[in-house]
Amino acid sequence: MKRSEKGSVTIEATIVISLVLMLLFGCLGTLLTIFVDTQMEWAVQSASDEMNIIGIPFSDRTDLLRDLMWIKINKQVKNRSINNFVEIRELSYKKVNGHEINMWEVSYDYKFISFAENEKIQVPFKTGNENDGLKFESSTVYITTYGEKYHMEQCFHLRKSKFPIDLDEALKKGYEPCKNCHKNIESR
């Protein structure tokens, strides 16, 4: 082999290796971006789910809701070990007119080189209120086919038949508490 041929092989090998390395790092960066985006979506959704409950007393204080959500998102990001990969830029709370559901919008940047510069995630958010129809005092009891008493789920009287019914409904229908499973519980 001549000297000029050896030089051209070296140059070609350098070009090919450079292209392969660029392609490899591009693929790894894309995979990391997809992973981080997925984890961020889960983190924001989990934080929003927590805020649906926590935010009930603060539904009219958007500044306080935003601060609480910021804390929840940062906690979720840290728990998912992606805090070294993203930086949250902005968190906004948007009221959607005419609807009971509002939106959280989270903007973030990557802390690594990526083809995508920044991302936004939007998740729905609804705080409950006092008049949302939930009855916290309501409970399920069980009745039998022919019995006149209502029972707790583990009562031995339910071994042959067992039908769930709301306690209020059982009381309206004239059922009385079972003396065995309700001996320490006052009836209404």
Q: What range defines the domain where residue 145 resides?
A: 140-177
One domain for residues 48 and 90: yes
* Phi/psi of residue 74, nearest 5 degrees: -60, -40
Give the pTM.
0.56
Tell me the two tokens of residue 47. 């934080």
- Residue 135 is assigned to a structural domain of this protein: no
**Edge-first strand listing for the sheet containing 86-94:** 86-94, 102-110, 118-125
One domain for residues 102 and 153: no
* Phi/psi of residue 106, nearest 5 degrees: -115, 125
Pairing outcome for strands 149-150 and 176-177: parallel
One domain for residues 100 and 160: no
pLDDT of residue 19: 94
- Residue 183 is assigned to a structural domain of this protein: no
pLDDT of residue 104: 84
Task: For 70-112, write each residue's pLDDT tens digit.
Answer: 898 999 999 989 999 999 999 988 776 655 567 888 999 988 8
- Residue 52 is assigned to a structural domain of this protein: yes
Query: Is residue 125 a contact partner of residue 93, using CB atoms and an 8 Å limit?
Result: yes
pLDDT of residue 63: 80
One domain for residues 147 and 96: no
Provide the CA 74 distance to its chain's centre, in angstroms: 14
Cα separation, 14 vs 23, in Å, equals: 14
CA distances from 105 to 41, 101, 123, 148, 163 (A): 11, 13, 7, 55, 45
> Which helix (H) or strand (E) segment is 33 a member of?
helix 3-54
One domain for residues 104 and 169: no
One domain for residues 99 and 153: no
pLDDT of residue 181: 79
- Residue 132 is assigned to a structural domain of this protein: no
Q: What is the CATH number of the domain that holds 91?
A: 3.10.450
Question: Low-confidence residues of the chain, pLDDT below 50?
Answer: 129-138, 186-188
One domain for residues 89 and 115: yes
Q: What total of structural domains would you count in the chain?
A: 2
- Residue 131 is assigned to a structural domain of this protein: no
Tell me the two tokens of residue 85. 């990969």
One domain for residues 79 and 10: yes
- Residue 184 is assigned to a structural domain of this protein: no
